[in-house]
Amino acid sequence: MIFVALTVTRETIEDIRGPFVGDNAAWSIAIIAVLLVLAVLAYLFWPATKPKVTPAPLPREVARLRLSEVRAASESASPYDTAVGLSAIVRAFVEQQYGLKSVSRTTQEFLVELASTNCLDPVQKTSLQRFLSVADQIKFAHAHPPEEGSNLVEQATNLIEQAP
């Protein structure tokens, strides 16, 4: 066996071949194209963790939520606390819904501006004026609510629900 191995001539030994047989440029372009396609597919189908944008709640929804809180607390709260809370809710609703500055103004200033707008019909304007006057009497004069003012929660709810 040793003798057979020594008889191998130089012509039978071949040189080392390169890693690619054929045109290297064509293979390089093909590999780059496949990688590019894989990158595009990964981009399209990879689950993206985008932050979910929640829309801002509508003024009516905010007012309803705050009304339910005041309604739950109104049984144990004083008429003063209830009137302050309800007045703030209705004023904030009107300001957010119609763009009328009501929170930072007195009731009279607000009612003068409200009279010059068309955002509420005359019946709703009158109802809002009565509600705010009763709430102001309770807030500032510490008066006990009159018969029609004892249902301030219901009046506030009606104002918010019936507003256009």
Q: Among 90, 137, 134, 99, which Cα is nearest to 118's?
A: 99
Q: Please report the pLDDT score of residue 21 as a whole number.
A: 57
From residue 105, alpha-carbon distances to 37, 95, 102 in Å are 63, 11, 5
Q: What's the one-letter identity of residue 93?
A: F
Q: What is the pLDDT of residue 15?
A: 74
C-alpha–C-alpha distance, residues 104 and 127, integer Å = 21
| pLDDT for position 89 | 93
* CB 59, CB 126: distance < 8 Å: no
pLDDT score, position 6: 54
Per-residue confidence (pLDDT) for residue 88, from 0 to 100? 92
Q: Within 13 Å of residue 72, how many CA atoms lie on the same side as its CB? A: 5
Q: So what's the pLDDT on residue 93?
A: 92
Assigned token pair, 144: 């006990």
Q: What is the pLDDT along the chain (164 residues), one digit of tens a residue?
A: 555 555 555 566 777 766 655 567 777 888 999 999 999 998 888 887 778 888 889 999 999 999 999 888 877 888 888 888 999 999 999 999 888 888 888 889 888 888 888 888 889 989 989 999 988 888 888 777 766 545 888 888 888 988 88
135, 143 contact by CB (below 8 A): no
Domain positions in the chain: 59-162
pLDDT of residue 121: 87
Cβ 126 vs Cβ 132: under 8 Å: no
Residue-level pLDDT at 65 = 93
